[in-house]
């Protein structure tokens, strides 16, 4: 398949490389990042999209997605698919899909879960929104770049699934870090805490698979001085998207709101920028009630 790939950063570059390794012809473009080996460098986004059967985008936000869509849609042939794997606001995803469909294209919004490691290993999970035809067109690419893809419904529903998932993740990680900090002050050994909670009703992905306490549970960023697997900055971005969506949908999300405020303080006012989102643990350990 001839593929255009726009956005070759930490996530996009290994995803594009996996497509090349699977035998696809990939033309790539990024304003600053180099093309991975095997990806033909395009002079701009429009050139990357010309003649492509699928154009994959992995971009920082909805504003940039809208701008790139404006450059590439006119260059794409009817029946081609625009596959956006960025994490953006729901409305941007739906607006871009509407424009693409009006031009005779298939459109799929499919943000990912799995981080940089999952992108490199080809084990990402894709949450896809769009038509059945659009999903079927890009499904073979999901099989290469990931281990699972769920068709969540019409355009925008992929983004909706991503921000709801990550709102849960942000809330549960804060709760996990708070509990470890409390356990410390009550004199409860962290390993004993893990042994109990990981097999009891406090079980969660944040505890069992990504434990924020160094030396406890499986290997996680906590064991590497909180070098990001998933950066606190990105968690803040996703939580802000969740609250933007909650406001638009008139949904009551008090814990999502509180998690957003905590990560905002952690990233913008404390020392959380550039650290893993689980670095909330030392933050809570060093603080007192109130």
Q: Please list the active-site residues.
A: 162
Answer for the pair 172, 204: CB distance below 8 angstroms, yes or no. Answer: yes
Closest CA to 229 of 247, 212, 246, 243: 212
CB 154 within 8 A of CB 186: no
- H or E segment and range at residue 283: helix 280-285
* Cα(83)–Cα(110) distance, integer angstroms: 7
Residue ranges of alpha helices (H) inside 45-129 are 45-49, 62-72, 90-102, 115-121
Cα–Cα distance, 215 to 4 (Å, whole number): 42
Angle at 202 between CA 200 and CA 206, to 5 degrees: 120
Q: End-to-end CA distance of the chain: give it in Å, rounded.
A: 58
CB 163 within 8 A of CB 242: yes
CA–CA distance, 55 with 150 (Å, rounded to integer): 19
What letter does residue 79 receive in the DSSP assignment?
A: T
Tokens linked to 123 = 């084990």
For residue 189, how far is the Cα from the chain centroid?
Answer: 33
Strand 40-41, strand 124-130: pairing: unpaired
């Amino acid at each position: 398949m001839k593929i255009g790939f726009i956005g070759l950063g930490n996530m996009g570059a290994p995803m594009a490389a996996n497509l090349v390794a699977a035998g696809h012809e990939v033309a790539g473009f990024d304003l600053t990042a180099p093309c991975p080996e095997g990806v033909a460098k395009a002079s701009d986004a429009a050139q990357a999209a010309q003649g492509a059967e699928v154009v994959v985008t992995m971009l920082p936000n909805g504003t940039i997605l809208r701008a790139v869509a404006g450059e590439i849609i006119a260059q794409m042939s009817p029946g081609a698919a625009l596959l956006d794997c960025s994490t953006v606001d729901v409305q941007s995803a739906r607006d871009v899909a509407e424009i693409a469909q009006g031009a005779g294209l298939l459109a799929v919004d499919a943000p990912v879960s799995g981080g940089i490691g999952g992108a490199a290993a080809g084990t990402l999970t894709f949450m896809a929104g769009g038509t059945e035809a659009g999903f079927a067109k890009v499904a073979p690419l999901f099989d290469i770049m990931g281990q699972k893809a769920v068709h969540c419904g019409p355009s925008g529903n992929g983004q909706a699934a991503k921000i709801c998932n990550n709102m849960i993740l942000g809330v549960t990680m804060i709760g996990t870090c708070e509990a470890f900090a409390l356990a410390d002050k009550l004199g409860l050994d962290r390993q004993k805490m893990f042994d109990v909670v990981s097999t009891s009703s406090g079980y969660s992905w944040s505890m069992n698979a990504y434990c924020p306490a160094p030396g406890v549970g499986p290997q996680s960023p906590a064991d590497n001085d909180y070098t990001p697997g998933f950066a606190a900055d990105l968690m803040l971005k996703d939580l802000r998207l969740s609250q933007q969506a909650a406001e638009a949908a008139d949904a009551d999300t008090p814990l999502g709101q509180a998690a957003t405020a905590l990560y905002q303080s952690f990233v913008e006012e404390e020392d959380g920028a550039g650290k893993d989102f689980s670095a909330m643990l030392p933050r809570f350990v060093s603080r007192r009630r109130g």
